[in-house]
């Protein structure tokens, strides 16, 4: 092979590599529609739980067919922006821009280390979350937190529902922080580890003590005491961490698939 032929072969190979890894800039119709629907949610002041216009109305408004709108909505449902309820309509699940999301394919094995890692990850996030919330919390958020505590008090003997209430409580504090990234990262942890959070609730034992600590967090938020909020949240999560460290799976097995 001559040098010129070899150089040409190398050039052809380099061109193929560039083509293989070139950015894909073209968006499908459903991708473009999904972006327009998200813009519609933001510009239309839709809030979480609001019902969107009917699919037929959106198809007419955007000048496309019904299947294209349905495909776009499916994409938005996958990333948690909308909730498609058959027979009821399409509702906003998240009005803010989605910055981070949980992998829908995650299926991990639960171990003591995973539970400890989860608490360790939550600690700095939720301490910062409640510190920010102390600066930005509104009467509406405080009323919502008190409402969540009242609901949780009715479910102290129902671990599944109590877990939902507890996660909702911590999520509401994250929303009150007025930090969209922080709130969504905490959302992702909750979405990834819902079952693990319930196992932690089972391990830590006293639901009443957990409830009292949540009440203390609300009182610190009402006082807008940032230092107290941070200390109480750190102590709250550290108590959970200590319970996991003490946990003996052989003596106290869980309903879920956990290991030591």
From-to residues of CATH 1.10.10.10 in the chain:
29-92
- CA dist list (Å): 138 to 106, 134, 170, 231: 35, 9, 16, 21
The CATH architecture of the domain made up of 29-92 is Orthogonal Bundle (1.10)
| This prediction's pTM | 0.59
pLDDT at 259 over 60: no
Angle between helices 112-136 and 207-222 (to 10 degrees): 30
Cβ count near 155 (within 10 Å): 16
From-to residues of CATH 1.20.120.530 in the chain:
110-259
Which of 81, 55, 82, 80 has its CA nearest to residue 70?
55
Q: Report the C-alpha gap between 86 and 187 in whole angstroms.
A: 25
| Band (186; pLDDT cuts 50, 70, 90) | confident
Cβ-based burial of 7 (10 A; exposed 0-12, middle 13-18, buried ≥19): exposed
Task: Record the tokens describing residue 91, joined without a space.
Answer: 């509702």
**The predicted structure's pLDDT at residue 150:** 92
Quote the mean pLDDT of the chain. Answer: 79
Coil/strand/helix, residue 92: strand
**Stretch 133-137: mean pLDDT:** 95
pLDDT at 8 over 80: no
Task: Record the tokens describing residue 209, joined without a space.
Answer: 């003590």
**The predicted structure's pLDDT at residue 127:** 97
Angle between helices 112-136 and 180-192 (to 10 degrees): 150
Cβ-based burial of 115 (10 A; exposed 0-12, middle 13-18, buried ≥19): buried
- CA dist list (Å): 80 to 84, 95, 147, 207, 234: 10, 10, 24, 30, 29
CATH number assigned to the domain covering 110-259 = 1.20.120.530
């Amino acid at each position: 092979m001559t040098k010129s032929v070899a150089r040409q072969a190398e050039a052809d190979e380099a061109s193929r590599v560039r083509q293989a890894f070139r950015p894909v800039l073209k968006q499908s119709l459903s991708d473009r529609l999904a972006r327009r629907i998200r813009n519609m949610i933001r510009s239309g002041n839709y809030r979480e739980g609001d019902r969107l216009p009917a699919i037929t109305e959106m198809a007419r408004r955007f000048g496309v067919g019904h299947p294209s709108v349905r495909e776009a909505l499916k994409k938005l449902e996958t990333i948690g922006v909308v909730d498609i309820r058959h027979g009821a309509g399409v509702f906003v699940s998240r009005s803010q821009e989605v910055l981070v999301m949980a992998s829908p394919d995650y299926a991990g094995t639960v171990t003591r280390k995973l539970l400890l890692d989860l608490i360790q990850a939550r600690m700095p996030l939720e301490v910062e979350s409640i510190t920010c919330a102390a600066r930005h919390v509104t009467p509406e958020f405080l009323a919502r937190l008190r409402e969540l505590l009242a609901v949780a008090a009715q479910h102290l003997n129902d671990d599944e529902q109590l877990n939902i209430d507890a996660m909702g409580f911590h999520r509401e504090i994250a929303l009150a922080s007025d930090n969209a990234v922080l709130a969504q990262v905490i959302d992702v942890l909750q979405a990834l580890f819902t079952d693990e959070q319930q196992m932690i609730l089972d391990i830590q034992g006293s639901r009443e003590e957990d409830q009292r600590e949540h009440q203390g967090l609300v009182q610190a938020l009402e006082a807008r005491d940032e230092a107290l909020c941070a200390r109480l949240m750190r102590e709250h999560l550290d108590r959970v961490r200590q319970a996991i460290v003490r946990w003996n799976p052989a003596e106290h097995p869980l309903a879920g698939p956990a290991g030591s």
